[in-house]
Structure 1
């Protein structure tokens, strides 16, 4: 039964243990994203306004809630690569929990409230990350995406956006995946800035430079693991 004496333990778990578990989860995604050639890797722990940024890590105001890993331009974009990236978070959580249990059972680590909370909430994190379900914002859990990848569904089928020179209008046109005009610019850099914004906001996506009948990939934005 939850009593008054358990309140400090709850806050300890919520403000210290859960953020650590979240960080380890994102580290798993980062490791496999790096292994598959991902560029511009960034880990966000928490939500809300930015508190500080160190290298690829940024910590936000509500650091104890939410986490996400973003990266661009995967070199290896095959199905197995994506399965490894999306399962990396739960894999790191499982390894760290098993390691803590091993250290305790071999008397290398003293059991206590922190170790109990760490293993308990690691299992909690793993369960909800792997539970194949959609979220209210339209994104999917890691488990849902992994399941769709195993079933070879088109969950990670990328939309293609283009920056294309229009000779008749003498403008750079940003086109969506249906080749419909999003916006036209006289300045090439402005067109690319808009195209990157649209492609990044509609992951997974590819951004192509289209001119004189030739198409070259500028950047790809893989789907973000949570």
Structure 2
């Protein structure tokens, strides 16, 4: 039964152990995103205003709540690569839990509240990350995305945005995934900036330039793992 003496243990778990577990989880996503050639990798720990940035790490005011990893332009952007990226968080959580259990069993580390909370909440994190479910904000759990990737469901497939030169109208056009003109511009840089904006807002997506008559990928924006 939860009593008054357990309140400090709760705060220890909430403000220290869970953020560490969350960071390990995001590190797993980052590792496989880096392995697959991802660029502009960023890890966000927490939510709210930014407290500080250190390299690819961004820590926000409410550091104990929420976390995500973002990246662009995977060099190996295929189904297996994305499955590994979304599975990476769980793999790192599982590996760190096994290491903690091994260190306790080998008496390298004394068993105590921290080791218990770390293993317990790591398993908790793994379970809910793998549970295939949608979240209220429209995002999906890692397990849901992995399952959709395995099934190759239409909703998980990439949208393709294009920029192309219209010779008759002498203007650059931004086309959406159905090849419908979204906007037209006089300058290529303006069209490219708008196309990047649309592709980022509608992940997963690819951005393609068709000026030369051939479709050349400029950038891709994979789905963001949590």
Q: Which whole-Å deviations, capped at 9, do the CAs of 1:183-209 have from their partners, x for residues lacking one?
A: 222222122111111101110000011
Question: How is 1:1-226 mapped onto 2 (pairs within 5 angstroms)?
Answer: 1-226=1-226
In the alignment, the residues of structure 1 paired with residue 130 and residue 66 of structure 2 have an alpha-carbon distance, to the nearest angstrom, of: 15
- In the alignment, structure 1 segments of 5+ residues that lack a partner are none
- Which whole-Å CA distance do the structure 2 matches of 1:100 and 1:115 have between them? 7
- 1:123 shift after superposition: 0.5
Residues 75-98 of structure 1 show CA distances to partners (whole Å, capped at 9, x for unaligned) of 212222121111100000011011
Moved more, 103-112 or 167-176: 167-176
Distance in structure 2 (CA, Å) of the matches to 1:150 and 1:199? 23
Deviation of 1:178 (Å): 1.2
208-217 or 54-63, which moves further after superposition?
208-217
Calculate the TM-score normalised by the size of structure 2: 0.95
Moved more, 145-154 or 176-185: 145-154
For 1:214, what is the secondary structure of its paired residue? Answer: coil
- 1-structure distance, mates of 2:124, 2:40: 30
TM-score (norm 1): 0.95
Query: Per-residue deviation at 1:100?
Result: 0.5
Shift of 1:135: 1.3
CA separation in 2, counterparts of 1:158 and 1:78? 11
Secondary structure in 1 aligned to 2:103?
helix
Which sections of structure 2, spanning at least 5 residues, go unmatched? none
Do the aligned partners of 1:145 and 1:155 also contact (CA within 8 Å) in 2?
A: no
Alpha carbons of structure 1 residues 85 and 155: separation in structure 2 relative to 1, 3 Å: farther
> For 1:7 and 1:148, how far apart are their aligned partners in 2?
40
Q: Tell me the alpha carbon deviations over residues 161-198 of structure 1, each in whole angstroms, 9 at most, x when there is no partner.
A: 01122223222221111112222222221221111111
Secondary structure class of the residue paired with 1:213: coil
Give 1:155 deviation, angstroms: 4.3
**How large is the Cα RMSD of the aligned pairs?**
1.3
1:99, 1:155 → 2: CA distance?
37
